[in-house]
Amino acid sequence: MCQILKIAKSTYYYQTNNCVKYDVNNYEEEVISAFNKSRKIYGARKIKAVLMRKDIILSRRKIRFLMIKNNLVSKYTKLKYRNHKTMVNNDQISNVLNRQFNNKKPNEVVVSDLTYVQFGGKWHYICLLIDLFNRNWL
């Protein structure tokens, strides 16, 4: 039939896209009112659920866009506590060994290393003490 009418097959099989296009700005007031009714707690996911109950279909991305545009921030997304850097282990320690690791007497210099390993489903700390004279454990 397409050959007789001299039209392309794609024209015959073409289907119009009858999707309803929402203007985001029309639902701006709905998003703001849902946010304020929730005592400024709801985020985009909960607001989307509220709008779905009203038969309004908006994506979370569009809801987030409207929230950012109107400076709507959920109380739960605000940073409540910030760790403050403290001056721990910043003491200046003198370099006593000065990279002289070959010692003449036993137990003159003992060094340590602390690590932890998982064994039997629990974490255990291991502290090794090593004599630099003969590299033996103490």
Domain coordinates in residue numbering, the chain: 24-77, 105-138
pLDDT of amino acid 17: 62
Identify the helix (H) or strand (E) that includes residue 47: helix 44-53
pLDDT of amino acid 53: 93
Is the distance from CB of 115 to CB of 104 less than 8 angstroms? no
Q: What is the pLDDT along the chain (138 residues), one digit of tens a residue?
A: 878 888 888 877 776 666 556 677 788 999 999 999 999 999 999 999 999 999 888 999 999 999 999 999 988 766 667 777 777 777 788 888 888 878 788 888 888 888 888 888 888 988 888 888 887 776
User: For 64-84, b where at least 16 C-beta lie within 10 A, e where not — what string?
Assistant: bbbbeeeebebeeeeeeeeee
Q: Full-prediction pTM beyond 0.75?
A: no
pLDDT of amino acid 19: 56
Task: Give me the phi and psi of 115, to 5 degrees please.
Answer: -145, 175
Distance of CA 12 to the CA centre of its chain: 49
Token digits of residue 125: 């700390």
- Helix (H), strand (E) counts: the chain: 5, 2
Distance of CA 87 to the CA centre of its chain: 27
